[in-house]
Amino acid sequence: MLAIFQHALRVAPTAAKYITTLLLLLNAGSFPFVWHIRVLSAVFEQYLALQWHRLSHFYLGKEKKREALIEWYEGRQPIGVHPFRAVWTYRRWVGFDDGDFYLHMSNSSYAKALDSARFRLALATFPNLFRCGGWVALAATHFHFVREIPVLSAYEVRTTVESPPSSHGSIIWCISRFVKPPSKTTKSISAQSFTDGLVTQQANEVLEVNRTPDGIKEADAVTRALLERAARATESDGAMLYTVAVSQLCYKHGRITVPPAIVLAANGFYAAPAADSTLTSSSAGGGYPHYWPAVRTLTASMPALAKFYAGGWRDVPEGGRWWEDAFMACEAERLERLVPFVGSEMENEGLIAQRRGGLAGGLEGVRRLV
């Protein structure tokens, strides 16, 4: 027994060393500053791409360099893209540090992944706001967990802009869907049919609760609102839905709130009418909207653009407010998409809820949705 004990003492330090090293490697994703590196890596990628562009165009003259740089910036903007038709994808996998006791992705890890997805979305959709010192504030996030994500599984966060408000609004809603991409070896489940089934189930539960003296259960009401919105966006490739996250964002320049319609239009988003023949080809894949010369004039000077975002847009006369026409073609669709978030009881053009409905009205607003 003594010999065995002495041997164990000799082996223990070596075993402890290997176990400690293994634990550190398995939890490397949660080391200090790893979150910052993961989120800010999108900025580093853009910076390196910009420096490479400048290096590869060093031989051009001053004017040619300026034109090439404008083309480079515009090539990274969603010019001519319909705000409701684009999907931005962020790919990740679940490490051991992201898991819980059941070896599923923990609730807090969804928010951590969503931080990276939203930041990349911001750089991809409104880079001009960042270039002149603007930023994006997160007002609220709503999660609904539909299905667990196992540890070591790959997943995608697919984000869509759901409803930019009118030119007088201040909030934009985005939906991020955590999904399992379909593979050749596994039978994919239609996210539409899966989510529709849950919506029907939850709706029946809510109707059943309505018959009781206790009224509507809060959890059922929130679930119904989130899943109803999620079910409308199908996954065309049959990806399986894990989780739905609804984000409420607002744009800022300093302490001043910038209307989302202005930011989106100034970065190229445009809902072109069906008969619009004014669009010309752009390197971003869409087409230049008719107001783009005004945007180019603004972006030629970052101080001028900063002044515009910081309140200068209020001084633009009525006839020259190009951002008000950018989304007129999708106005009906925009109002329909707003209902799950702010309710259906709105005033005329201001779109200010008489009684705050939907998710914006908290649990009482969600009750009115149901």
- b/e burial code for range 282-311 (CB count within 10 A of at least 16 → b): bebebbbbbbbebbeebbeeeeebbbbbbe
Nearest residue to 308 (alpha-carbon basis) of 277, 246, 270, 265: 265
pLDDT tens by residue, 194-239: 444 444 444 444 334 444 444 445 545 555 555 555 555 456 777 8
Residues found in the chain: 370
Going from the C-alpha of 188 to that of each of 91, 179, 184, the distances in angstroms are 18, 11, 9
pTM over 0.85? The answer is: no
Query: What is the C-alpha separation between 109 and 367, in angstroms, rounded?
Result: 29
- DSSP code of residue 322: G
Domains of the chain and any CATH numbers:
75-330 (3.10.129.10)
Going from the C-alpha of 273 to that of each of 69, 269, 282, the distances in angstroms are 30, 13, 17
Residue 322 has pLDDT above 70, yes or no: yes
pLDDT tens by residue, 39-81: 889 889 999 999 999 999 999 999 999 999 999 999 889 998 9
pLDDT tens by residue, 253-303: 988 999 888 999 999 999 888 655 455 555 445 578 889 999 999 888 899
Residue 100's SS3 state is coil
Q: What is the DSSP string of 107-136?
A: HHHHHHHHHHHHHHHHHHH-HHHHHTT-EE
